Every structure is written in structure tokens, then in C-alpha cells.
Amino acid sequence: MGMDLNNLRDIVVLIAFVALIGASVAIALDAFQGEVTTDGFAYNISGNGLQGINNATGFMDTIGTIAGVAVLIGIVVLAFVSVKN
């Protein structure tokens, strides 16, 4: 099973979807954390959740850069292949 542009599109959509979910949950937790007592259990738990989201999605910018470069390389390669044929 080779890699083609359809697979690449699916991977990019998946990365964007995960980033959107992470951002949405982070926004909700941040808003929740602003509504609770700063030294309470809920504040600490929401802070831990925000840290976990940051740890889980911290690599997204690197993956986005790699995916962007891969798309550009793929376009250049396809352009040269189609010119040769």
C-alpha cells in the first residue's frame, strides 16, 4: 500500500481535527478554571488537565511543519513526473 495524495489529505485532516479538539478542551478548561477558587480541588484538577493537553498537543506544530514540507515535496515531485511523461 503506497502513499498517495488521498492518504496525505486524510492525515492532514486528522491532525487538524486533533488540534481543534485539543484547543476546544483547553479553552473550556481555562474558562472553568477562571470560575473556581484558586486553591481548590477543581482548580488543581483543571490545571492538571491543561498541562496534560499542552503535553499531548505540544508536538502538533512540528508535525504540521513536517506535513507541510512533505506536501510541497510531493507537489514538486509530481510536477517533475508529469512533465517527463
Q: Which residues contact 61 (CB under 8 A, 6 or more apart)?
A: none
Is the CB of residue 75 less than 8 Å from the CB of residue 13? no
Residue type, 66: I
CA distance 83 to 31: 54
> Which pLDDT tens digit goes with each residue over 48-75?
888 887 777 777 777 777 777 877 887 7
Is the CB of residue 23 less than 8 Å from the CB of residue 85? no
C-alpha cell at 1: 500500500
Domain assignments of the chain as residue spans, ordered by start:
5-84
**Cell numbers 508535525: residue:** 63
> Which pLDDT tens digit goes with each residue over 7-46?
777 777 887 787 788 788 888 888 888 777 777 888 888 8
